[in-house]
Amino acid sequence: MPLSAEQTLRNRARALGFDDCRFTTAEAPETAPVLRDWLAAGCHGDMAYLTRTASKRADPRRVLPGARSVITLAASYARVEPHPAPPPPPPSSSADPCPPARIARYAQFADYHPVLETPLHALAETVNTLGGPLTRSLAYVDTGPVLERDLAQRAGIGFVGKHTGLVSRSLGNWFFLAEILTTLDLRPDPPEPNRCGTCTRCLAACPTAALIAPFRLDARRCIAYLTIEFKGSIPPELRPHLGNRIYGCDDCLAACPWSRFTRPGRLMPPHAQPALAAPDLVGLLDLDDAAFHRRFAGTPLLRAQRRGLRRNVCVALGNTGDERALPALRRAASDPDAMVAEHARWAIDRIEQRLAPPTRPLSRNA
């Protein structure tokens, strides 16, 4: 008995290295109004592209006219040991090594876009072959104007958690999504119901209270947004909460109980970048433009750009550094980039306050 189109595509996706493959219709997600309300409240910050593409995100058929199905795929980027990242260290003593930087675990790999695009486009070719010469398909890896988490939940990949990320019962929290919009009619899988229950660990874990309510994120307070997407000056009142994070934040994902079901995938492990697990902060601050591009070529950290990364490093040193960070920070305080210089001066003030001897209280007879 010949295999169905759905099973053929599932087998092909598995052979290409994806960890899950599900199907849903190309109808507009029922959650599309939530996006409109979120944008109207300004919770997207400076991510203007979300506003520009809102109408397309609300309906996949506006992205691909005639679309009938969406194929959603997952690729785990979990490490072999599924333990959450350690908390940021306290300010170091002179006997300790300089504090390392914390980088979101997804960014401790080569850039996932080209890694996933090759097998994804191969799968799209299989879709078009199955459908015949009139079949059209569009493939995206976190780049298309679609509500990929909402579609993935409807396809049964996982459920959108209270931290607004997708949670899989078989993969936990650490996985990438990709999708193929196609005119081929495929039988949809059942949706995954929400399984958060009464748990609010992710909300409690957020260092900046960016999760302002269950299922609602204010990106303007989110460390991932502030250290990656945001190009301006980080609000001073939020800087202490960044700890030693310089690119992204995993705290809400690490706090989720479903993370215990994490398992490594097959596509990403060969592309791990061990040198990004705990790089030296002071060394990062002194990178010139050429060294920055050599160090981070082919990794997600290029997205922050050199000035953004140096801004973030200054904040991390202000939170965790000691006197050994001061020479590099003083050089950065004279940087022609006013934003980097201001963050360096802030960091210097923080370190000097920590190094200052405690003030002795006046005696009663003074």
**Residue positions annotated with a catalytic role:** 142
Q: Is residue 22 within a helix (H) or strand (E), and if so which, with residue range?
A: strand 20-25
Angular region, 223: left φ>0, alpha ψ -120 to 50, beta rest: alpha
For the purposes of burial, counting CB atoms within 10 Å of the CB of 189, is it exposed (0-12), middle (13-18) or buried (19 or more)? middle
| Closest to 142 in 3D by CA, of 172, 114, 105 | 114
CA dihedral 40, 45, 51, 52 (to 10 degrees): 160
CA distance 26 to 188: 10
Distance from chain centroid for Cα 183: 30
Rg of the chain over all Cα atoms, to the nearest angstrom: 23
- Residue in the block written with tokens 């995938």: 265
DSSP one-letter code for 183: S
Secondary structure of residue 246 in the 3-state scheme: strand
CA distance 242 to 238: 7
Tally Cβ neighbours within 10 Å of residue 28. 16
CA distance 319 to 303: 23
| Closest to 111 in 3D by CA, of 143, 83, 84 | 143
Tally Cβ neighbours within 10 Å of residue 283. 15
